[in-house]
Structure 1
Amino acid sequence: MALHETSSADSESARRRWLARAAFLAIFASVAVLVVFAGLHTLTLLFVAVGAAVVEVAALFWFLTSRGVLRWTSLAVLILTPIVVLVLLVRAQLLWVVLLAAGLAVLAVVCARAALGRHRADWAMPEHPSAPPKRAFLVMNPHSGGGKVGKFDLKRRAEELGAEVVLLEGPGTVDVEALARDAVARGADLLGVAGGDGTQALVAGIAAEHDLPFLVISAGTRNHFALDLGLDRDDPSRCLDALSDGIELRIDLGKVGERTFVNNASFGAYAEVVQSPAYRDDKTGTTLRMLPDLIAGQRGGRLLARFDDRTVDGPQAVLVSNGPYEMQDLAGLGRRPRIDRGTLGVVTISVSSTRQAVGLLRRARQTGLIQRAAREVVIDADVPEIPAGIDGEALVIPTPVRCTVTPGALRVVVPRNRPGVRPPARPVDWVRLRRLAFGGSSVRDAVPVGDRQ
């Protein structure tokens, strides 16, 4: 047995070492393609690429912060810049060279990430045994996600598995928290929700308060929470398998004051926009109309964010998440591979000028975009209350706002068989990659200590 494990470890080490070498081979090939086939035009291509990126970022900033002729001129520049670059490459007969070099560079990154990838135990949340519930209570919103509750016949399927199901059909607003508390008083041994993340958060808070298992059914529109739990977002009925054959994940719960959140709480520009009565009927138009004043600081309160030993004065937006998002996935804010580290993620954006916007291209040397992990985040402002978006729910909260995290507070039951969480995308550390490929270090030495916990 020990010999087999040693052989497997050696095989894995050799595989990663050759992947690291392949990454360097691909990047050298990419440079060689440019030098051999572009020759003296290589520096020109570099200048064009950098210049185009700067122009694109500046044009996008002007489009978001201006009105009238300047806004639409900026949009034209934003669209025309890549077209002009493409035409220049075609006329110079260098398009295929750039595409080939870019393809090799992408291959290098893919190989590098595979070589430095962490073992599943480093990024997957631990699983615990879970006994099937005897008195499960589920809340289902038939209007959520375009009617997924009815489309997938979730009520009937859940009842066949022995669950009590309540539909949020009205009339009027239904007090979801009151329904859940009443179910607990009547002896429910599991609470669950088929609906949006805002409803999930409300019931999850009650489940955590009473130390009851919580079931997530991916019947919302975006299902961010379900995504991070590795659930099937295309077929929410598969989530019901947890009632008969489930396992338990023990995850953290975020709090804004006394209100729980499972995904994130946003403050600043986005929270101001969603507060507008016009936002529901015209999301794009309302956002474009309000953004210039919000970015310029002429609308809404001036925020002050404090976390750990850092203070950020005047950010346009602050996002506090229940567990940090992937550093490489900010654009979509899509995934959190772990929600059990006992930390909040915090992202602040401070961009009030074209120079600061362009500075975002230099992620390592600018402060316009800050990403950190923290145990507590305090948002203050020069006004007595500020808008907040908490798991998609628009609220107004008195300042200062204190965001905290309760480690391992929620017992989430998920199906034993589910799509799962993908490995996180990590920045490529070329120094560690070189040591792995040519320096004789082991795979374990090539992985940062913090990633081996």
Structure 2
Amino acid sequence: MERIRARAGARLFARCALLCAAAAVVALFVPFGGGGVFIVVVGLVGLALCAAGGWWFLAHRGPVRLLGALLGVGAPVAVLVLYLDDGLWRTALGSLLLWAAALICARKALRRPDHRSRARPAARPRRPVLLMNPKSGGGKVGRFGLVEKAEALGARVVLLGPTGPDGEFQDVAELARSAVADGADLLGVAGGDGTQALVAAVAAEHDLPFLVISAGTRNHFALDLGLDRADPSRCLDALTDGEELRVDLGDVAGRPFVNTVSFGVYADVVQRPEYRDAKAETALSVMPDLLTGEAGVRLDARVGTTELSAQQALLVSNNPYASPDPFGTGGHRPRLDGGKLGVIAIRVEGAAQAADLAVRGSSSTGLNVLTARRVEVTAKVDTLPVAVDGEALTLPPPVTCTLRPRALRVLVPRDRPGTAPPSQPLNWYRIVVLAFGRH
């Protein structure tokens, strides 16, 4: 009965999607004759010019950068003015709203049951050890009273900080191994994703549960585990009322990662000493040399059996993201136990290709979105800049990325926000089959 209702709902949403899409086209062309063609052509041209302006802004300096900024801002404004001047803005807005409704209905029609990893009951740890970085996330450890709350729940807390006159940080992996040797039956981290990965590898090595406390800046790993990123103290509930998830653990040249490994433009930027204090200014300063090939390296990669050449940027993720996200600043991974790496590769040679990427998206020749169990990255340099979970490293090529399927036992609170359901790629042929074909 449940499946019958789900199929009926999918068919209804598919028919609504087709109806809204047809209405969006009718709204464009029926009232004003050629007005619909004008709206579509002007909109696409404006989008292409905006993307071209963005390319000139990022890839050049001086007057060309200024021209790019003016074009990037001016193109959408010019499109809006043309719509207003010709009295077509109501038509454009109505068609856009109908098309948005069509997309929403289509995604609901294609929605599948959630296949994220299933949680299983977990015993309460007796000797948990938590490593906490007081400076992480702008001081979240102190702001949320994590040390006191963890100790009240029976955990031993180790605070991370610089040691010695040179100011070097403690070796967190070694601290985790010492905790295991002292009898710890759970390891946890309140800190950034890079620190999370190092301790997670030790937990996986000893088959111990691992606790993620969302006290970093962005907390991508916590997001995809469905944890509360607004209040990291809620992650500690797992110590008394938790359940266990089995997730994959990434490996890049023998170093663990939980989120992403970046090569190319982004990795080059984060290598700069000034990046930590002035991210935007540093990126704008070095982007022209990186994008035009004067300073950055071009990457060749073997993604499974697919060969990619002369890429400017390459993002390898521990399981693929729900939508292409070259910079890893948004989006989420619907599951963390799929056993495959996600790969996003970008190669944009000029303003025309940037415009093509903006208009055609993942269909553009400048963007490749792939999955594989193994990725090998090479370049004609002695050392290759790499950003592993946001941490800057240099590694000798070739650099190999793999996954250890379901290697990590993650303890999460039974009561947690959870993650958004995964979005399916739009396929209008499937929508038509759902609406009128036989199941």
Pick the TM interval, shorter chain. Answer: over 0.9
SS of equivalent residue, structure 1 residue 191: strand
- Map 1:426-445 onto structure 2 (within 5 A): 426-439=424-437, 441-442=438-439
Out of 275, 283, 287, the residue aligned to residue 283 of structure 2 is: 287
Match of 2:404 among 403, 406, 412: 406
Q: Distance in 2 between matches of 1:433 and 1:328?
A: 22
Structure-2 residue corresponding to 1:354: 351
- 3-state DSSP class of the match of 1:162? coil
Q: CA deviation at 1:380?
A: 0.9
Q: Which amino acid aligns with 2:128?
A: A
8 Å Cα contact 1:328/1:425 also seen in 2: no
Q: Show the 5 A alignment for 1:20-419.
A: 20-120=14-114, 122=115, 124-171=116-163, 172=167, 173-327=169-323, 329=325, 332-360=329-357, 361-363=359-361, 365-419=363-417
CA contact (8 A) 2:58 2:287 kept: yes
Aligned 8 A contact 1:261 1:391 in 2:
yes
- Deviation string 1:27-86 (CA, Å, 9 cap, x unpaired) is 111112112333221111111011111111111111111110011011011111111111
Q: Is this contact kept in 1: 2:47–2:75, CA < 8 A? A: no
CA RMSD, aligned part only? 1.4
Counterpart amino acid of residue 87 in structure 1: V
The answer to whether the Cα contact below 8 Å between 1:328 and 1:426 also exists between their aligned partners in 2 is no
- Asked if 2 retains the 8 angstrom alpha-carbon contact of 1:52 and 1:81, the reply is yes
User: What letter matches 1:27 in structure 2?
Assistant: A
Q: Which amino acid aligns with 1:339?
A: L
Give 5+ residue unaligned stretches, structure 2: none
**What CA deviation, in whole Å up to 9, does each residue of 1:395-432 have, x standing for no partner?**
11111111111101100010111111111122221111
Q: Which region of structure 1 is more displaced relative to structure 2, 221-230 or 94-103?
A: 94-103
* Cα 1:411–1:187 shift into 2, 3 Å: same
Counterpart-to-counterpart distance in 1, 2:78 and 2:355: 20
Q: Which residue in 2 is equivalent to 1:446?
A: none
- Counterparts of 2:278 and 2:203, CA distance in 1: 36
Q: Is the 8 A contact 1:327 1:426 kept in 2?
A: no
Q: Conserved in 2, the CA contact under 8 Å of 1:193 and 1:199?
A: yes
Q: How many Å apart are 1:364 and its aligned residue?
A: 5.5
Percent identity of equivalent pairs: 52
Q: State how many pairs are aligned.
A: 433
What is the CA–CA distance in structure 1 between the aligned matches of 2:309 and 2:18, rounded to whole Å?
A: 42
Partner of 1:16: 10
CA distance in 1, matches of 2:333, 2:138: 25
Give, in angstroms, the shift of residue 329 of structure 1: 4.9
* Secondary structure of 1:61's aligned partner: helix
The question of whether the paired residues in 2 share the 8 Å contact of 1:269 and 1:294 is answered with yes
CA displacement, residues 272-307 of structure 1 (integer Å, 9 cap, x when unaligned): 111112212221121112111111111133321111
Q: Give the structure-2-normalised TM-score.
A: 0.96
Secondary structure of 2:19 counterpart? helix
Preserved CA contact (<8 Å) 1:329 1:335: no
Q: Which amino acid aligns with 2:48?
A: V
1-structure distance, mates of 2:263, 2:324: 22
SS, match of residue 249 in structure 2:
strand
For 2:58 and 2:162, the matched residues in 1 are separated by 39
Query: Residues of 2 paired with 1:328 and 1:273: CA distance?
Result: 21
Q: SS where residue 336 of structure 1 aligns?
A: coil
Unaligned runs of 5+ residues in structure 1 are 1-5, 443-453
Tell me the TM-score normalised to structure 1 length: 0.93
One-letter code aligned to 1:433: I
The separation in 2 between residues aligned to 1:267 and 1:40, in whole angstroms, is 47
**2:4 aligned partner, one-letter code:** D
CA distance in 2, matches of 1:283, 1:222: 15
Distance 2:298 2:247 in 1: 33
